[in-house]
């Protein structure tokens, strides 16, 4: 009896999967691999049911002899363990980032005479309906809101990218890359005060009002499903912040980060070049406590951001604040620095973790950008935010185009660096 292996990462079984099982069953004993949660979120959409539920679902299918967990995107381990004669997959993996995985499977199988079977991908009205139902479970506020907490439990480090519009939201939502045979994507979006303000041509001084910031969130939410972390600046007055928290929760935002500054806030990356006032520990703790009391759901997170290193008040002050803000109810701590060297950030994380093993830690490596996600995770960081890189890459490109059109009195010279017209008019999918 031959052995046939197929890897599933779906939450719902439709005709396409049944067809794959049928094709597999014709050839021998069918083993289904259930892609583990931590691998699935790098590869596909966020799962709407748990890993254990997916395993039970696959086990219940006629024609499936056994279910195993596939924990790595690459098939090396499962192929070594099972030695399947065939690996069956929908033929959609012949194109795009997944094609590297297919090529690697083919190479592994050819070493002992195994074979890849590509089954034509099924797309019909039923499959389309199921896709829509899954999208509802991903996009609606009650599901989206809780997903950040789920991600913190699921993955060594949650990867967050800045978004400040529907379009940048779509980039964070849809960008998947293949690198050395593995696929990767961002987990969540950061609605940065710097980038949201900059996109409106305004300075980052809490000038863009909450109604406008909420409008940005709404634009992003309209076209995406990934969870959102909102940059709440100082949070304003505690009496106002409680209302902001309620609004964010209702919209389906997962977390707000507020920084321990008071008065006219300027962007932290100015450091001590501009005068900025740090809030006292009791004052900021009271703001956090008031917001935690106002919160309606258990899902939403209020994360306290500590500016002591930015303002050069020292490590001990930063650590004292972290303990106090956690005691006041903060669901996470963000520690910030504008040093190029990550040492002070890593020292803070190590020292914080000596006494607190669980409170999520957040960092924003804009200045200390040589540090890797793996290093951060090894020092106990749970969330890494790439806070402004989309804005900082788009602006120079747009400015250069504007300058060159002025320079040459026509657009021909810039054309080879533009997205083709055919692509821009079809960039956004219609429903
Ligand atoms: C932002 O993105 O607006 C931030 C992070 O607050 S930073 O600009 O690094 O202060
Ligand atoms: Mg900000």
Q: Choose which residue among 366, 384, 385, 392 to substitute to test ligand 1 binding: the one with the highest number of ligand atoms within 8 A of its C-beta.
A: 366
CATH 3.20.20.60 fits 140-387, yes or no: yes
153 CB contacts (<8 Å, ≥6 apart)?
A: none
Per residue in 353-412, pLDDT (tens digit) is 999 999 999 999 999 999 999 999 999 999 999 999 999 999 999 999 999 999 999 999
What is the tens place of the pLDDT at every residue in 334-349? 999 999 999 999 999 9
Q: What is the mean pLDDT of residues 142-148?
A: 97
Q: Give the model's confidence band at 123: pLDDT under 50 very low, under 70 low, under 90 confident, else very high.
A: confident
Angstrom distance (rounded) from CA 342 to CA 367: 8
Can you give the pLDDT at residue 264?
A: 87
* Closest of 333, 385, 384 to residue 355, by C-alpha: 333
- Give yes or no for a contact between 10 and 40, defined as CB atoms under 8 angstroms apart: no
- What's the pLDDT at 431? 80
Q: Higher model confidence: residue 133 or residue 408? A: 408
Residues, CB-to-ion distance under 5 Å, ligand 2: 193, 231
- pLDDT tens, position by position, 57-108: 999 999 999 999 999 999 999 999 999 999 999 999 999 999 999 999 999 9
Q: Provide the CATH number for the domain formed by 3-130 in this structure.
A: 3.40.50.620
> Ligand 2 centre and the CA of 38: distance in Å?
29
Identify the nearest ligand to the CA of 388 by its number.
1
Residue 430 has pLDDT above 90, yes or no: no
pLDDT (tens digit per residue) in 189-217: 999 999 999 999 999 999 999 999 999 99
* CA 375 / ligand 1 centre spacing (Å): 21
Alpha carbon distance 34, 23 (integer Å)? 18
Token duo for residue 94:
């012949």
Mutate which of 162, 229, 269 for ligand 1? The one with the most ligand atoms within 8 Å of its CB, which is: 269
- Cβ of 285 closer than 6 Å to ligand 1, yes or no, is no
Domain boundaries, the chain: 3-130, 140-387, 393-425
The rounded Å distance from CA 231 to ligand 2 centre is: 6
Active-site residue list: 204
Q: Residue 181 pLDDT more than 90?
A: no
Tokens representing 212? Answer: 């406008």
């Amino acid at each position: 009896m031959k052995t046939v292996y197929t890897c599933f990462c779906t939450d719902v079984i439709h005709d396409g999967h049944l067809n794959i099982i049928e094709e597999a069953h014709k050839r021998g004993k069918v083993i289904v691999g259930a892609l583990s949660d931590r691998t699935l979120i790098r590869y596909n959409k966020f799962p709407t049911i748990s890993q254990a539920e997916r395993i039970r679902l696959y086990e219940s299918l006629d024609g499936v002899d056994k279910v195993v967990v596939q924990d790595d995107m690459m098939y090396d381990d499962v192929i070594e363990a099972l030695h399947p004669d065939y690996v069956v997959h929908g033929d959609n993996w012949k194109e795009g980032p997944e094609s590297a995985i297919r090529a690697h499977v083919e190479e592994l199988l050819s070493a002992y005479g195994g074979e890849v079977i590509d089954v034509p991908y099924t797309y019909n009205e039923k499959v389309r309906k199921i896709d829509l139902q899954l999208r509802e479970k991903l996009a609606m506020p009650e599901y989206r809101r809780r997903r950040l907490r789920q991600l913190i439990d699921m993955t060594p480090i949650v990867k967050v990218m800045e978004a400040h519009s529907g379009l940048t939201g779509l980039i964070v939502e849809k960008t998947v890359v293949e690198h050395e045979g593995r696929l990767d994507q961002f987990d969540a979006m950061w609605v940065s005060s710097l980038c949201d303000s900059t996109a409106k041509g305004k300075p980052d001084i809490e000038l863009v009002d909450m109604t406008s910031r909420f409008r940005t969130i709404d634009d992003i939410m309209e076209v995406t499903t990934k969870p959102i972390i909102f940059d709440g600046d100082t949070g304003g007055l505690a009496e106002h912040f409680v209302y902001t928290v309620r609004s964010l929760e209702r919209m389906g935002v997962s977390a707000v980060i507020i920084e321990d500054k008071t008065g006219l806030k300027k962007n932290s990356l100015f450091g001590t070049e501009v005068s900025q006032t740090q809030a006292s520990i009791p004052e900021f703790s009271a703001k956090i406590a008031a917001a935690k009391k106002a919160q309606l759901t258990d899902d939403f997170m209020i994360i306290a951001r500590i500016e002591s290193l930015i303002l050069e008040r020292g490590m001990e002050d930063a650590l004292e604040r972290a303990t106090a803000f956690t005691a006041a109810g903060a669901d996470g701590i963000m520690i910030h620095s504008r040093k190029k060297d990550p040492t002070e950030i890593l020292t803070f994380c190590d020292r914080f973790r000596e006494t607190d093993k669980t409170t999520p830690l957040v960092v924003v490596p804009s200045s200390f950008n040589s540090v890797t996600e793996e290093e951060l995770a090894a020092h106990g960081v749970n969330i890494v935010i790439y806070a402004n890189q989309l804005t900082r890459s788009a602006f120079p490109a747009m400015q250069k185009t504007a300058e060159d059109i002025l320079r040459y009195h026509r657009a021909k010279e810039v054309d080879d660096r533009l997205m083709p017209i055919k692509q821009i008019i079809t960039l956004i999918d219609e429903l």
